[in-house]
Structure 1
Amino acid sequence: MKKNMGTADRVIRIIIAAIIGILYFTGIISGTLGLILLILAGVFVLTSFISFCPIYAPLGISTCSLKAKK
């Protein structure tokens, strides 16, 4: 897997995941929607750590900086 996520993209995903986690565990979001968002947050964290988004690959998107591509 070739990295296709830049630092800014990774940080934004982790922040969104943290916000979703806080909202879920404080009870602000719950039920089916809460579980779906919690799973999405987990996916965001996982993709941030491996720097690869499987949705970006077929679309040819890369948020890596130009220096990282060389």
Structure 2
Amino acid sequence: MKTNESLLDRIIRVVLGVVLVVIAYLGVLTGAWQWVAYVVGAIALITGIVGFCPLYAVFGFQTKK
């Protein structure tokens, strides 16, 4: 599995993922929105750490040069 995300893309995903997970954990969002924040945050965090986005691969897109 080759990376398909640039460093900037990865940093943005990790920061966004952490923010969403923390917002959900602190209870700023409730109900279904809390779970959406957990899931989207976790996906952003994992793809940012790994450097590979499956949707980028499906559509043949990459931000890495």
Instruction: State the TM-score, normalizing by the size of structure 2.
Output: 0.87
Counterpart CA distance in 1 for 2:5 and 2:28 is: 30
Distance 1:50 1:20 in 2: 18
* 4+ long deviations beyond 3 Å: none
Q: Which has the larger radius of gyration?
A: 1
Q: Tell me which residue corresponds to 1:36.
A: 36
**Residue correspondences, number:** 65
Give structure 2 stretches of 5+ with no counterpart.
none
What's the C-alpha RMSD, in Å, of the aligned pairs? 1.1
Report sequence identity in percent: 26
The aligned counterpart of 1:4 is 4
Gaps of 5+ in 1: 66-70
Distance 1:48 1:22 in 2: 16
2:16–2:45: 8 Å Cα contact kept in structure 1? Answer: no
Post-superposition shift, 1:28?
Answer: 1.0
Please tell me the residue identity of whatever aligns with 1:36.
Answer: V
